[in-house]
Amino acid sequence: MANLVIDVSKHQGIFDWDAVVGEIDGAIIRMGYGGNDARQDDEQYERNVQECLRLGIPFSCYLYSYADSDEKSYSEAQHALRLLPPADELAYPVYLDVEEQNKAFHFRRAIEIWAEVLEPQGYTVGYYSGRYLANQERLFELPYSAWIAEYNSKLHYDYDVDAWQFTSQACYGGYAPLDASYFYIDAKKKDEDDMSIYEPYNGPAETPQSGASLADRICYIDAYTSTLCAQVAALSAAVETLAKSQGVDANAVTAAVTDAVRAKLADLKITVN
């Protein structure tokens, strides 16, 4: 059975872990990004780790990669070693987040160095990437835990995964939007000596929204519409600036954009079972 896992960073601010403890099965916490420089540590990392330990929430960690050379990749691995808790405190693999498209040529080597440095220290390792980039760079050929992102009702990936990030718009404990994933490694029953006993899986048929409570669906919809409204406001401002520079009636253009958005919203159908 899949575990529902969120990933959390400084972007969630001072996160109220007590609010989500009954709604999630685990968490992946961002350590930071890039090479081994304390200025690139996630500002909420230490607190988030301590909160998970306090509440008994199964967790692990990830580092966002910008490496495009072996030297930078070794520095990123040392960044992780400096911050990681003991391996026996982690419920999931330690992930390297590779998603910068202009660094894609280095993804495979970065992941190999990640494993080369961390595995001898007792850590199980893996990589996170989007479905397209994982396919493009043939990351499925690497013998490490795969955490693949595709925001859809199904994961359209032809290779085994240990985790699927299915949305960036989840709502748990009143927090939204949150990244959420299904992890097919059962952290609560894992063998302490061997994580390879968990058979990778290619994803369930539906996202949690299909079985969510009414309160969570309302929270999810509210987060979605808030994001949409912010995007529309930004678009309207951009249209107005462009219209003025071209000597066009800005109000007429903005009205046309507003009508188009309203027509799109009218097409949306939300069903609560």
User: Which of 13-17, 149-153, 246-250 is predicted least confidently?
Assistant: 246-250
Q: What average pLDDT does the segment 54-68 reach?
A: 97
Question: pLDDT tens digits, residue range 183-242?
Answer: 987 654 444 433 333 344 444 444 444 444 555 455 555 555 544 555 555 566 666 666
**Alpha-carbon gap, residue 71 to 91, rounded angstroms:** 29
Average pLDDT score over the chain: 82
**Average pLDDT of the segment spanning 153-174:** 91
Largest Cα span, the chain:
69
Full-model pTM: 0.73
pLDDT at 2: 83
CA distances 119 to 87, 115, 169, 174, Å, are 10, 5, 33, 37
Q: How many CB atoms lie under 10 A from the CB of residue 272?
A: 9
Residue 6 has pLDDT above 90, yes or no: yes
> Taking residues 98-126, what's their average pLDDT?
97
Q: Give the mean model confidence (pLDDT) for residues 2-11.
A: 94
Strands 94-97 and 59-64: parallel
The secondary structure of 186-218 as a DSSP string is -GGG--TT-GGGSPPB---SS-GGGG--HHHHH
Residues in the chain: 273
- pLDDT of 191 reads 44
The answer to whether the beta carbons of residues 165 and 128 sit under 8 Å apart is yes
* Three-point CA angle 73, 31, 51, nearest 5°: 160
Are 34 and 66 spatial neighbours (Cβ–Cβ below 8 Å)? yes
Provide the pairing of β-strand 26-33 with 59-64.
parallel
SS3 243: helix
CA distance readout (Å), 40 to 10, 82, 125, 167 = 12, 12, 21, 26
What is the reported pLDDT for 261?
Answer: 66
Q: What is the pLDDT of residue 152?
A: 87
Mean pLDDT of 249-257: 73
CA 265/CA 207 separation, integer angstroms: 22
